Amino acid sequence: MVEQKDDALLLRALPFSDSSLILHVLTKNHGRISLMARGARRAKSPFRASLMPLYHLNVRWREPRTGSMGTLIEVHRLSSLLDEQKILAGQLLLAKANVLFPDGVEHGYEELHKALNLLSKQNENLGLPTAIWSMLSDAGLVGDFTHCWHCASEINLDDKMYWFKAHSLCSKCANARGLELSSGYRKSVLNLLKGEHIKFSTNYLNTWQQITDEVVKSHR
Ligand SMILES: [Zn+2]
């Protein structure tokens, strides 16, 4: 049976039978995979101490003869991805990644890695929305703020855009409808996505929360 080895991020671990876990993992080169970690919940299991979310992991597994569930052979826990005080925000990010990069996708590892890195650079209030927007963007659910998401025409950052029905539109397409996305707001978001430290008003933060919620709802 074929064995594989790869860098991985643990999305979630679900209890299975008395002592095992089913792992959902994003790997660097093998996309999203599911692995059976036999006996992982036993006190003396060698998997127990290593299977931690929000760490770089390196996993070795056996591919299944049939079906899609591999069997975990070995796991090494490498560096931590977030400070302890950001673990809860990190868990929220994993829950989003679990939905955005479902079973069968070939990508997700780099995207989640980038998002966790953005979260690690900012305080949580700013880091979490930045990280979520970064993943929405990488998953293709949102466009950028320099093109109309409807007609694709290029928009100067100094011009206004309008948020209408979960899309950022040029003034022509918006046709006097929607919420204005000022140039200041859009520039600030772009800077946050580059990992820069900037002042971001509560007003901007509320707008970001609102438009992110609309994007997520519109793709349910
Ligand atoms: Zn347009």
- The CATH code of the domain that includes 28 is 2.40.50.140
Measure the CA–CA gap between 134 and 28, rounded to whole angstroms.
18
How far away, in angstroms, is 161 Cα from ligand 1 center? 9
Domain end, chosen from 40, 64, 80, is at: 80
Supply the pTM of this predicted model. 0.92
Domain end, chosen from 60, 80, 100, is at: 80
Q: Output Rg (C-alpha) for the chain, integer angstroms.
A: 20
Asked if residues 148 and 155 have their Cβ atoms less than 8 Å apart, the reply is yes
Measure the CA–CA gap between 133 and 130, rounded to whole angstroms.
5
CATH number of the domain encompassing residue 116: 1.20.1440.120
Per-residue pLDDT, 67: 84
How far away, in angstroms, is 147 Cα from ligand 1 center? 8
Measure the CA–CA gap between 74 and 50, rounded to whole angstroms.
9
Question: How many domains does the chain divide into?
Answer: 2
Instruction: Tell me which residue range forms the domain holding 135.
Output: 84-218
Per-residue pLDDT, 111: 97
What pLDDT, in 10s, does the model give residues 95-114?
A: 999 999 998 889 999 999 99
Amino acid symbol at 150: H
3-state class percentages of the chain: helix first, strand second, coil last, to nearest 5: 35, 30, 35
6 token code pair: 């790869």
State mean pLDDT over 35-56.
Answer: 95
Residue 121's CB is within 10 A of a number of other CB atoms, namely 15
How far away, in angstroms, is 86 Cα from ligand 1 center? 38
